[in-house]
Chains A and B, each alone.
Chain A
Amino acid sequence: MIQRKTIHHRAKRHIGKFMVYGLLIAGSVLFISPLLWMLSTALKPIEQTMSMPPQWIPRQAQVTIDDQVHDVSKVQVIDEQTCKVFLKDSPGQTVVVDRQQVTKKIAPQWQNFSQAVDSMQQFPRYLTNTLILCILTVIGTVSSSALAAYGFSRIEWFGRDKVFLLVLATMMIPFPVVMVPLYSLFKSLGWIGTLKPLWVGSFCAGAFNVFLLRQFFIGIPTQISESARLDGASEFRIFWQIILPLAKPALVVVALFQFMGTWNDFLGPLIYLTDQEDFTLALGLQFFQSQSGGTQWHYLMAASLLVVLPIIFVFFCSQKSFIEGISMTGVKG
């Protein structure tokens, strides 16, 4: 009796495990396939993007005529033996060939990337603008939020915690509320059509980052500061030489979040930037899509991939800090 019960129990465990893996694998396939489909499309020749049913492996149809290999853009079947092919190297020209002469070769079209960059026109400018903004906003956010968070956690002053509630309250304000007045403010300063509105504000310590860093600073024992004060260290020196080095993991998280936020921002650049050469990658990608319409999907996916890849690269270089940072926002929030 007892034996049967444990066997039953074990079998149940196995079924449970099987279900967990089954669901996880199915879910993973669903989550990863849009990214793989982007990659696959980005590497296809244009005619293959419109093939039905969709194919995952980029292939190029080719025909061999007189020992010379030609890329084929379209194949029309005439009968069981022959077909008409459209040659890529001489547009408009068709040749009737034996169907066996046509082969399909695995051929990732790497040149799609350079051609996508070319047809986006200002890609190098987009990239430069985005990087400038990322660097400036990361410097601005990390330095100003660290200062403010220090003021809210490591110094006792009258009314501090009440003022901190105000920090939290400002997080509730949705961007559209400040959007119009900020636009008219920046307009009166002559900043519309420049990058300034997109980075100057980052030097004013955003509430979320102050909150995140304060949580971390509070965890550092107060004795450390007190003994330094007894030794006559100034407050700024304690901040700079003792607290900041200890808070490095949290600073990295804030820097990463800001980098991502700036790289991804769409509404800000959409509102403040007017000339194409000032666009960021996110805005430039949307501009490219609205210009080229819904035909050149291989270029659009290649361009999208170029916008996504740096983020994925940064993520893989700093996965641990990232995951810790995101966990921190929820658990301590």
Chain B
Amino acid sequence: MTRSERKNLLMGLAFISPWIVGLLALTLYPVLLSLYYSFCDYDVLSPPVWIGTLNYTDMVTDNVFWLSLWNTVVYTAFAVPLGLMLSLLIAVLLNQPIMGRSIFRTIFFLPSMVPLVAVAMIWLWIFNGKFGLLNEILSMIGIDGPNWLTDPKWTKPAIVITSLWQTGGTVVIYLAALQDVPRHLYEAAEVDGAKPWHRLWHITIPMISPVIYFNMIMGLIGSLQVFVGSYVMLGGGGPDRSALFYAVYLYENAFKYLKMGYASAMAWLLFLLIVLLTWIATRLTCKHIHYGN
């Protein structure tokens, strides 16, 4: 290494030193420690006691654990694809030559800015079984709305609806991608007589596929960790624990029952699940992703 190379190395390390401190103290150290805790009985108050794989084998027989995993998977299976489709639809509409685009865009984006706790409050009121706005509107078109937050069948759909309301950020990302699709592709397709549906399917979606993939992965990671809606609206689970999500049960184990070892084991399993699902999603879609240039 020459002198100037060494100087550059030191200078580079000096600039990234805040990140190095964070990596060691706030990422690597806790990640490794939580792996260790996951093999321990630990309640924060006394030192951890090594118990081998007991936390992991306990999970297999813990019905509530499986329920929380199932609830989260069901939630993700609806919230992510519906969110991707709804936001793409809105973005495509906003990308048409229309008047007042920025007003529409602001309206669709605004709900995604609302803090999650406030979102929970607003929808708690809208879903209210007695005086709720939603069921009143449904009854106007002849639908007898369910008791969204007290009927175990409807708690998950209710939380999916609140997540769809906050899809504005994804819309903006799509919109930016749509504006990068070269116009001449559409013009050529129009000359060939392609219908709007065909243009969407054969030009738009392939051209923005990397962004769809990005939004899908982000949605997946976020959905598997969904917490605030269930915790605030349903007091951590709702009727029959029908909306007890993985992150909520994990939180309860850690801070309500002080089973920190068990919570750490759950956290590691969540981590592995995220990596696995990301890998599967990548494998399934990589053939269809079209990277320009």
Q: Which A residues are closer than 8 A to B by beta carbons?
A: 16-17, 20-21, 23-24, 27-28, 31-35, 37-38, 41, 49-50, 52-54, 144, 147-148, 150-152, 155-158, 160, 163, 166-167, 170, 172-185, 187, 201, 203-207, 210, 235, 239, 260, 263-264, 266-267, 271, 281-283, 285-286, 289-290, 294, 297, 300-301, 303-304, 307-308, 311-312, 315, 319, 323, 326-331, 333
Contacts and interface: CB of A to CB of B under 8 A. Distances in A.
Interface stretch (B76-84, B151-159, B265-273): B265-273
A184 B260 contact: yes
A329 B173 contact: yes
B25 A312 contact: no
Contacts of A172: 221, 274-275, 278
Contact of A331 (B118, B177, B235, B250): B177
Contacts of A235: 11, 15
A180 B267 contact: yes
B121 A180 contact: no
Interface in B182-235: 196, 211, 214-215, 221, 224-225, 227-228, 231-232, 235
A192 B240 CA distance: 33
Interface of B: 1, 5, 8-9, 11-19, 21-23, 25-27, 29-31, 33-34, 37, 42, 44, 89-90, 93-94, 96, 98, 104-111, 113-118, 120-126, 128, 130-131, 133, 136, 165, 168-169, 172-177, 180, 196, 211, 214-215, 221, 224-225, 227-228, 231-232, 235, 247, 250-251, 254-255, 260, 263-264, 266-268, 270-271, 274-275, 278
Contacts, number: 273
B30 A53 contact: no
Nearest to A297: B125
Contacts of A173: 27, 31, 271
Interface of A is mostly: helix
B68 to A, nearest CB: 12
Contact of A28 (B9, B108, B255): B108
A322 B202 CA distance: 31
Contacts of A187: 44
Contacts of A179: 34, 254, 263, 267
Interface centre among B18, B25, B30 (most CB of A within 10 A): B18
Contacts of B121: 38, 285, 289, 300-301, 303-304
Contacts of B89: 23
B110 to A, nearest CB: 7
In the complex, the 8 A-B pairs of residues with the closest C-beta atoms, listed nearest first: A204-B22, A151-B15, A330-B173, A327-B176, A157-B12, A181-B30, A144-B18, A151-B16
Interface of B is mostly: helix
Nearest to A148: B19
Contacts of B271: 173-174, 177
Contacts of B31: 173, 177-178, 181
A177 B136 contact: no
B22 to A, nearest CB: 3
